[in-house]
Chain A
Amino acid sequence: MAGRIPLFLLACGSFNPITHQHMRLFELARDQMHQTGLYRVVGGIVSPVSNGYGKHGLVASKHRLAMARLALQSSDWVTVDDWESQQSDWTETVVTMRYHYRRITAQYQQRTGERKDPPTENSGKPLLKLLCGADFMETFKVSGLWRDDHIEEVVGRFGLVCVSRGTLQTDRTVHESDVLSRHRRNIFLVREWVQNEISATEVRRALRRGYSVKYLLPDSVIDYIKENNLYTQDSEMKNKEIKLRPLNKQTILQD
């Protein structure tokens, strides 16, 4: 894979809890980006959202981080990062992206600075793209959830790798949005041919009702959930009356 651009994939989300489907996103995205012939995927980052996000049923970030770490123990290229969850307030996706981009660039500069001989396979400044599912792209349409200049930066400056579930809805979503269409060359659509709808919402529902979730998430995560009695009627009630933080924060900024 000489001469390819090194690429990091960043997935932001609740990970409430992490499931096999989340982990599949990384695998599918890596395969696809390699097939373009242009990129070499060197790392994956799972960045669980902070508690400040205020999403309905969100359990404490320390748990979501612990579960993600357990799930990714066996992965040799995807890691969990807690920077976003450590911030005092909810952080816009683009801010998280900027942070990670600075970090990987600094690492790269440190490595190339130290190296005496000319850089070979690892040469080239690494890029960072946002990894997401099709539902994520739909959220760009939700009024007040995203700032226009942020969408522009996420898609234009960084780029998206979007995994869809076999329908061509993502094509349509790009087509129906001017900003997405303008940057369509920076949006990589990955088809997931296997219908695999392991939504965390369904997993939480099953847990509340005492049904098995084995084989939908790693055993280690299931054990953790049981030991900490994580997903209950009470936990699902959390933030019920609260408005999602982006809807508050961005209104204030726009005033």
Chain B
Amino acid sequence: MLGIRSVKFIQSVLSQHRLKYSVTEHGLRSLSSASPEMKSSDDLPIKMDNPYKEPPKGCILCNITVDHKNVQLLSQFVSPHTGRIYGRHITGLCGRKQREVSKAIKKAIHMGFMSVTLKDPSFMKDPNICTVKHLE
């Protein structure tokens, strides 16, 4: 048998925390939160986008405009030994950018900006973008 004071104390504490309670002569019987509409499906996982999703990757020239006057950029996709344009499996560019680069290189060669059979010596030290291993 609980004393009246202790019951009153329990009631005040529980009402502070907005919890539903049922107190009988045997003591605190049940405790539940105040919302009456508790469905069994409320603890299923919430549908949301994959939070660990990686941002979509593009090729290296994604947001860069390819210009035929930009000989340094174009020379990075050209062989230093023969001056030939590297293929898509070497440069790693997407279809559209590979075509733009190829057309720009041919345009630059025809207009007299870029050499045909060699890569400009001043651009030899540029960082290597293409996955080619040259014999040293």
Q: Do the two chains belong together in a single complex?
A: no
Please list the residues of chain A having a beta carbon within 8 angstroms of any beta carbon in chain B: none
